[in-house]
Amino acid sequence: MEGVVTLVGQGLYMAFAAVVGLGIARVLHRDNTLGCLIAGVLAGMLLPVLNYDTGLRAENLHQLVFFVILPVLIFGSAWKIDPDVLLRWLGPVLLLATVGVLICALITAVLVYYGIHHPTGFPWVAAFLTAAILSATDPVSVVARLRRSGSANEELLTLVEGESLFNDAVAIVLFSFVLGIASHSVMEGSVATGEALTGIGGFTAYLGTVFFGGLAVGTICGLLTAIVILFLGSAGAALMVLVLAAFGSFYLAEHVVGVSGILSVMICAIVARACLREQQDTYLAHAAPTWEWLGLFFNALIFVIMGLVITFQMFTDQWLAIIVAIVAAIGARGLAVFMLAPLARFVGPPIPQSWRLVLSWGGLRGVIAVALVLSLPTELPYWWTVQSMVFGVVLFSLLVQGTTSTRLIRKLGI
């Protein structure tokens, strides 16, 4: 009983910090994520004064992130997208989210590896792990500014949000694959060389299995979710089934079938909403507000945790690595978008030049990147370097890309 009370107290402490962070963001007129990050830093500074332990440990953060936080964030993001508009842009979205992510990850890994230039302390597998994390984009602030303008192009919003959503799913699959290699390398004592790399064939087989397997499981779960909601015929029951579907589709795919849980969650949300489009004003009238507050809470919680674990020493000891990561992440994203955007007309509508700039500069690194890097096991000898670089890139996204995106959107006349 005492353990449960302690756990509740720790959760309330972080939830209270998240609410304080939202207040800070409102006072400063900045994004909620930045306010929650500041609140997390302040909450961390108070811990020694209060003689309090938040209970956050590297070994339990991975479980918290993958089993609780990511399913809610991915399901909520997928639920917001209009299935009809997404279908129109599905070709360009998949092009950017698959080939684009792989190109971005490859360029980022090469730039980071040669930028740090420390093969013993930072091997190739560490560079690819960093690249996989930084491949996940989060244009939430850009989308919010577009929506606030009142005249945003709905198709642009769908392209940006849809590409980010599929991008996150592929990046998480890539992260899981590289993390498995990195962990195996540590166990086999081949950290410096990353000898566990299985080659292009092994990666292609792995990606194909988890990707298409996740699509299949997600489709089945989405259809079952829609059937159950229609059978129960209640708005309250519908919300309960949707939340259960978010966690259940992830668990079923990840631990029962052995495929991508994140892809399963995403497809489950898209299929369920498409099947229930006629119930948007009846059983699902409160679905959008529910996913909005759940997404807000878990986004806030992630950045509070980031604030709790971030240290000033990261920026004094790893400043050069952080600069390398920022240049690599932004450069790789821009190159991937501008290389593939001209090909979009072969698989769907063409992407205008101004939209390409929004996709490039608006591809911020946010909650997914933070969630992934927080889940790194401390057994990896380079985990702190990777975490420092990702935190640096996320801070640059919040402070520079996020704050200048409005000016870019205005200048482009979007």
List C-alpha distances in Å: 271 to 215, 223, 400: 10, 7, 36
227 contacts: CB under 8 Å, gap ≥ 6: none
pLDDT confidence tier of residue 45, bands split at 50, 70 and 90? confident
* Residue 193 pLDDT greater than 60, yes or no: no
Closest C-alpha to 170, from 70, 120, 102: 102
Reported as a single tens digit per residue, the pLDDT across 81-128 is 888 888 889 899 999 998 999 999 999 999 999 999 887 889 999 999
Q: With a cut of 50, say whether residue 194 has pLDDT above it.
A: no
Convert the pLDDT of each residue in 26-37 to its tens digit: 998 888 888 999
Tell me the mean pLDDT in the region 233-243.
Answer: 92
First to last CA, the chain: 56
Q: How far apart are CA 126 and CA 384, in angstroms?
A: 11
Q: Is 59 exposed, middle or buried (0-12, 13-18, 19+ CB in 10 A)?
A: exposed
DSSP state of 349: S
pLDDT given at position 202: 61
The residue among 207 and 39 whose pLDDT is bigger is: 39
CA distance 62 to 380: 14
Q: Residue 332: name the closest of 159, 173, 132 by CA.
A: 132
| Residues contacting 162, CB < 8 A, separation 6+ | 81, 86, 89, 90, 93
Taking the CA atoms of 223, 73, 59 and 323 in sequence, report the sign of the dihedral they define: positive
How far apart (Å, rounded) are the C-alpha atoms in residues 237 and 215? 25
Q: Is the pLDDT of residue 4 over 60?
A: yes
- Give me the pLDDT at residue 69, please: 85
- pLDDT value of residue 197: 45
Which of 33-47, 89-103, 135-149, 223-237 bottoms out in mean pLDDT, i.e. has the lowest? 135-149
- As a whole number, the mean pLDDT across the chain is 85
Task: Give φ, ψ of 195 to 5 degrees.
Answer: -70, -5
Instruction: Give the phi and the psi of residue 196 in degrees, each rounded to 5.
Output: -80, -5
- Using DSSP, state whether 368 is helix, strand or coil: helix
The structure tokens listed for 251 are: 């668990």
Domain boundaries for CATH 1.20.1530.20 within the chain = 58-412
pLDDT of 165 strictly over 60: yes
- 182 burial level (CB within 10 Å; 0-12, 13-18, 19+): buried
Report the candidate in 134, 161, 137, 170 with the shortest Cα–Cα distance to residue 260. Answer: 170
Reading the block at residue 19, the tokens are 């609410």
Residue 400 DSSP one-character state: I
The CATH topology of domain 58-412 is Na+/H+ antiporter like fold (1.20.1530)
Give pLDDT tens digits for 167-190.
888 888 889 888 888 887 666 554
Residue of higher predicted confidence among 149 and 391: 391
Mean pLDDT of 370-392: 90
320 has pLDDT over 80: yes
Res. 191: pLDDT tops 70: no
Give the list of residues 6+ apart from residue 222 with CB closer than 8 angstroms, or none. Answer: 245, 249, 267, 268, 269, 270, 271, 272, 274, 275
